[in-house]
Amino acid sequence: MSSDTLTSTEYIKHHLQNLAWGQHPDGTWGFAHTAAEAKEMGFMAIHVDTMFWSISLGLLFLYFFRKVAKNAQSGVPGGLQNFVEMIVEFVDTSVRGSFSAKNDLVAPLALTVFVWIFLMNFMDLIPVDWIPGLAAASGIHFMKVVPSTDPNATFGMALSVFALMLFYSIKIKGIGGFTGELTLQPFQSKNALVQAIFIPINFLLEFVSLIAKPVSLSLRLFGNMYAGEMIFILIALMFSGGLAMGVFGGLLQLGWAIFHILIVTLQAFIFMTLTIVYMDMAHSEH
């Protein structure tokens, strides 16, 4: 949708609004046609665009990596195989450097997290009006194409990692060992009475630290990608300000896109690295 037909505020709000599907106040189900309707649907509304793009990019990742795996050859690799092998080797090196235990799930998990988040972040480099414009021409009111700018997606991934962390913490250390980690450190005493006093203090500190992991993991990715998307939207507004502003906006867009490639990759790498570190913590006994 062009900024020529909207005010600046309406243009920004339109590009930041997800395509929501849920129950209307009258009891019927369907898509929200305005931001107010989406708000009325409440927490249980589904962001269809986030679901569509994240699942599509996940399937794209699986298709190409499976294709390379099936056609892999021991001789001189082709371009696609060489590219995939570079990514796998990079992730494998990261896992070996940060994960000290043995778990065959961690490396595939790290690879999936890195590539999937990179692909979702990379959608931010597509000009902001292209896909929403095609969607509007097809009668679709809203279309956000960067799933990682939706906190529902980032929290979903972070909570999945957190669930695995809790699972392996209990599996490796047992209920008693995991409970001991939350209640018997950092403050300790040989005096039983003093130690009993320390238990609620330790639990409060460790519980806050535990909950902070998925919160920081999700908000870090969401915040950086949301800010990047906002800058692209603000630059796009300049194209409706005349020839001079349009040329200046084009230069800004090019410069920000080049810089944003680093952000796109770095945020995927940070999420992957923290996932490996959290899994290592789950396997380590204090």
| pLDDT tens-digit readout, 90-149 | 999 999 999 999 999 999 999 999 999 999 999 999 999 999 999 999 999 899 999 999
Point out the catalytic residue in the list 2, 71, 82, 216: 216
pLDDT at 286: 65
What span, in angstroms and rounded, lies between the C-alpha atoms of 144 and 132?
Answer: 7
Average pLDDT, the chain: 93
Is the pLDDT assigned to residue 49 strictly greater than 90? Answer: yes
Q: In this structure, are residues 157 and 44 in contact, taking their beta carbons and an 8 Å threshold?
A: no
Domain residues for 12? 3-283
Strand 29-31 with 20-23, pairing = antiparallel
Instruction: State the total domains in the chain.
Output: 1
Q: Is 66 a catalytic residue?
A: no
Mean pLDDT score, 217-229:
97
Q: Which of 80-97 are b and which e, b meaning 16 or more Cβ less than 10 Å from the residue's Cβ?
A: ebeebeeebeebeebbee
Peptide bond into 186 cis (omega under 30): yes
pLDDT at 264: 97
The percent of residues above 90 in pLDDT, for the chain, comes to 86
Point out the catalytic residue in the list 3, 94, 202, 224: 224
- Give the rounded distance of the alpha carbon of 47 from its chain centre: 15
Residue type, 278: Y
| Other CB atoms within 10 Å distance of the CB of residue 286 | 10
Q: Give the C-alpha distances (Å, rounded to integers) separating 262 from 112, 119, 190.
A: 19, 13, 51
The percent of residues above 70 in pLDDT, for the chain, comes to 98
The 10s digit of each residue's pLDDT in 184-214 is: 988 898 888 999 999 999 999 999 999 999 9
Point out the catalytic residue in the list 160, 220, 240, 284: 220
- Orientation of helix 192-237 relative to helix 243-283, angle to 10°: 160
Q: Is 216 a catalytic residue?
A: yes
pLDDT at 4: 54
